[in-house]
Amino acid sequence: MTLPIFLIGARGCGKTTVGRALALAQGCQFIDTDFWLQEQAQQTISAMVEQEGWEGFRARESAALQAVSAPSRVIATGGGIILLEDNRQFMREHGVVIYLCAPVDVLADRLEAFPEEGQRPTLTGKPISEEVSEVLALRDTLYREAAHYVVDAAQEPDKVVSDIEAALQLAHAS
C-alpha cells in the first residue's frame, strides 16, 4: 500500500478501532486526526471548540488532515471532516477514502456504551440517538460523495477490515 487510506464516517462507526486493525494488517502506520490534533494543541477538542467555535476547530482539523497525510498510513478522521468541500476533495485526490457506514441504532448503541471515546462535544444538545440520526441525515450524502468505497461498519471489526482489504485488492486489480 502506498496511498494513504482515509477512514470517514459518523462518530461510533469504528474509525479508530478498524483503523488500528487495518494498519496492523497492512503493516503501516495508524493516525487518528482527533488524537493527533489534541496532542499538537495540548487541549481537548471540547476546549478548542469552546475557545474558537466550530469554525476555528474545523480549520485546525483541515490543517491536521493535510499534516498527517502521507504514504503507507491509515488515517481515521473526525466525523465532520467531510463538511468542508476542500477536505473531501483533498482525501479523494491524495488517497483511498473508505466510508464506514452503520445504521443510527448501531452508532447510538456504541456511543452510549463507550461515552468517553467520542471526546467531542454534542452537536445538537439532544439525546444521542436523536443527535446521531440528525447528523447522519445531514452528512450521509457527503460521506458517500467523498468515498471511493462504502463498507458496512455494523459488522465485527475483523470483518470490516477484511471487507476494506477486499475493496483495496479490487482497486489494485483495475
Kindly list the structural domains of the chain, giving each domain's residue range(s) and its CATH number in brackets, ordered by start: 5-164 (3.40.50.300)
d(CA 157, CA 2) in angstroms, rounded, equals: 23
Backbone angles phi, psi at 15, to 5 degrees: -60, -45
- Span 130-151, mean pLDDT? 91
Residue that wins the pLDDT comparison between 1 and 25: 25
Q: Which amino acid is at 30?
A: F
Question: What is the C-alpha end-to-end distance of the chain, expressed in Å?
Answer: 15
pLDDT surpasses 50 at 118? no
pLDDT digits (tens, 9 = 90+) for 3-38: 999 999 998 899 999 999 999 999 999 999 999 999
Question: Nearest Cα to 76, choosing from 8, 168, 25?
Answer: 8
The upper half-sphere exposure of residue 66, i.e. CA atoms within 13 Å in the direction of its Cβ, equals 9
pLDDT in tens, 88-114: 999 999 999 999 999 988 888 888 777
Q: How many CB atoms lie within 10 A of CB 95?
A: 21
CB 18, CB 161: distance < 8 Å: yes
Percent of the chain beyond pLDDT 70?
Answer: 90
pLDDT mean over 62-76: 96
The amino acid present at 83, given as its one-letter code, is L
Mean pLDDT of all residues in 72-100: 95
pLDDT at 125 over 70: no
Number of CB atoms found within 10 A of residue 172's CB: 7
3-state DSSP call for residue 98?
A: strand
Q: Which helix (H) or strand (E) holds 2?
A: none
Per-chain mean pLDDT for the chain: 89
| Distance, CA of 136 to CA of 141 (rounded, Å) | 9
What is the pLDDT, as a whole number, of residue 117?
47
pTM: 0.91
